[in-house]
């Protein structure tokens, strides 16, 4: 599988105050029986304050509900403050887990390893979040957009909905001359990082892919995934990028996007999963940073996806912290935990990648 970058993952912010006892939480590669036992350890107690990716906020809410029901002595507080903030909190030692929509990169791995002291930080992919291209154009359903057209729109080169490039993608549509209002994330975001990686790989995007939106591209900023969804919903002529779960929750129009073969593909959990299945693990050892082929030519593959990583120490956390973190991640990687994602607008992990995720979680000590 191909995935880009080194892992940056779900952020758990604040102090972990734990009292853990009982049997060890072993997570077998099969994931089901051992995961259920680990997730329901009556000896676990404590509070996990968490923060990071807003893309996985809906997944965390569901996992938190189910995990706390199995472990009434545990309280999980997750703040969807954004991927960048989550990584910094982990590096600073104020969280045991960080949630990020892109893997650790540049100088982050060394800093994260230093935070772990006796071990290394690992990127653990846990949530596949398809990124929807959402728009607000009454009367125009089933909009189709090629990567090149998207690049022109988000670089402020295509400014009206009846532009010839959009007409070429939609020969049978009646398009209005409404001005395009392109929204991007105002905060540093793994969603922006993945979206600009897609544009860089497929659309001749002239700026470096990054969590921060390039000022030269202009457009309008909105904070967080909630901010993007509400801005598009409230603005006729708007277009943006946001996780599928937020698009569905806000009942936003979603465009079909052309993949590397030129096929316009509707976004579904299944079409996004086809792109994830072509990804490659780039990390070493138990680090599972991935590289995504945004130009995939796999039939029926929707090309814009992100993977949210849970970043923690493979070794180096206090024993009580490690026990609680391992138990929670054992649950999120279980059959039950992954099955819950599909109804929330995410694509569950499967196959070889899921087996590797469970092995990495099992190695936490």
Considering its fold, how many domains does the chain have in total?
2
Which pLDDT belongs to residue 143?
98
Binding-site members for phosphate are 53-55, 83, 101, 189-191
Q: Where are the alpha helices (DSSP H) in the chain?
A: 33-39, 57-70, 83-91, 108-116, 147-154, 164-169, 190-202, 224-234, 244-249, 269-276, 319-332, 335-342, 351-362
Give tens-digit pLDDT for 187-206: 988 889 999 999 999 999 99
Q: Is the pLDDT of residue 90 over 60?
A: yes
Backbone φ, ψ for residue 104 (5° rounding) = -55, 140
Tell me the C-alpha distance between 258 and 169, whole Å: 9
Helix, strand, coil share (%) of the chain residues, nearest 5: 35, 25, 40
Determine the angle formed by the axes of helices 108-116 and 83-91, rounding to 10 degrees: 40
On whether both 81 and 162 belong to a single domain, the answer is no
Write down which residue in 254, 275, 296 finishes a domain: 275
Confidence of residue 75 (pLDDT cuts 50, 70, 90): confident
Average pLDDT over residues 70-97: 91
Confidence of residue 10 (pLDDT cuts 50, 70, 90): very low
Give tens-digit pLDDT for 326-353: 999 999 999 999 999 988 889 899 888 9
On whether both 161 and 183 belong to a single domain, the answer is yes
The pTM score is 0.76
Q: Where residue 334 sits, what CATH number does that domain have?
A: 3.40.190.10
Q: What is the DSSP string of 52-69?
A: B-STTHHHHHHHHHHHHH
Which pLDDT belongs to residue 5?
38
Residue 321 is assigned to a structural domain of this protein: yes
Which pLDDT belongs to residue 139?
95
Average pLDDT over residues 262-273: 94
Give tens-digit pLDDT for 204-216: 999 999 989 999 9
Write down which residue in 230, 254, 275 finishes a domain: 275
Domain span holding position 181 = 131-275
Binding-site members are 53-55, 83, 101, 189-191
Mapped onto helix, strand or coil, the DSSP state of residue 125 is strand
Q: Give percent above pLDDT 90 in the chain.
A: 69
Q: Is the pLDDT of residue 177 over 80?
A: yes
| Short-list 147, 64, 52, CA closest to 100 | 52
> What are 10's strand-pairing partners?
99
Q: Is the pLDDT of residue 286 over 90?
A: yes
Q: Give percent above pLDDT 70 in the chain.
A: 88
On whether both 160 and 236 belong to a single domain, the answer is yes
On whether both 139 and 236 belong to a single domain, the answer is yes
Give tens-digit pLDDT for 123-158: 999 999 899 999 999 999 999 999 999 999 999 999
Tell me the C-alpha distance between 66 and 47, whole Å: 15
Contact 343, 8 (CB under 8 A): no
Residue 266 is assigned to a structural domain of this protein: yes
Integer-rounded Cα Rg, in Å, for the chain is: 20
């Amino acid at each position: 599988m191909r995935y880009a970058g080194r892992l940056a993952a779900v952020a758990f912010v604040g102090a972990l105050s734990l009292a853990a006892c009982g049997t060890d939480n072993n997570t077998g590669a099969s994931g089901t029986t051992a995961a259920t036992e680990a997730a329901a350890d009556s000896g676990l107690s404590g509070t996990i304050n968490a923060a990071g990716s807003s893309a996985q906020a809906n997944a965390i809410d569901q996992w938190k509900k189910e995990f706390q029901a199995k472990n009434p002595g545990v309280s999980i507080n997750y703040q969807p403050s954004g991927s960048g903030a989550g990584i910094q909190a982990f590096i600073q030692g104020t969280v045991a887990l960080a949630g990020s929509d892109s893997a650790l990169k540049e100088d982050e791995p060394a800093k994260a390893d230093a935070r772990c002291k006796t071990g290394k930080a690992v990127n653990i992919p846990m949530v596949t979040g398809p990124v929807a291209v959402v728009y607000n154009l009454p009367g125009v359903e089933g909009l189709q957009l090629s990567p090149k057209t998207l690049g022109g729109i988000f670089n402020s080169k295509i400014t009206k909905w009846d532009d010839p490039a959009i007409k070429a993608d939609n020969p049978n549509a009646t398009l209005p001359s409404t001005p395009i209002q392109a929204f991007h994330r105002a905060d540093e975001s793994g969603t922006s990082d993945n979206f600009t990686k897609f544009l860089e790989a497929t659309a001749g995007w002239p700026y470096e892919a990054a969590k921060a939106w390039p000022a030269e591209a202009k457009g309008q900023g909105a904070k967080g995934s909630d901010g993007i969804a509400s801005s598009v919903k409230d603005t006729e002529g708007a277009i943006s990028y946001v996780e599928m779960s937020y698009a569905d929750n806000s009942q936003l129009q979603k465009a079909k996007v052309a993949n590397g073969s030129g096929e316009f593909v509707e976004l579904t959990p299944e079409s996004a999963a086809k792109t994830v299945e072509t990804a490659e693990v780039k990390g070493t050892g138990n680090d599972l940073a991935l590289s995504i082929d945004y130009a995939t030519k796999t039939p029926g593959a929707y090309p814009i996806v992100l993977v949210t990583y849970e970043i923690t120490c493979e070794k180096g956390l206090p024993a009580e912290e490690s026990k609680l973190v391992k138990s929670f991640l054992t649950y999120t990687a279980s059959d039950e935990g992954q099955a819950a994602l599909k109804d929330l607008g995410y694509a569950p992990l499967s196959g070889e990648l899921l087996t590797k995720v469970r092995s990495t979680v099992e190695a936490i000590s």
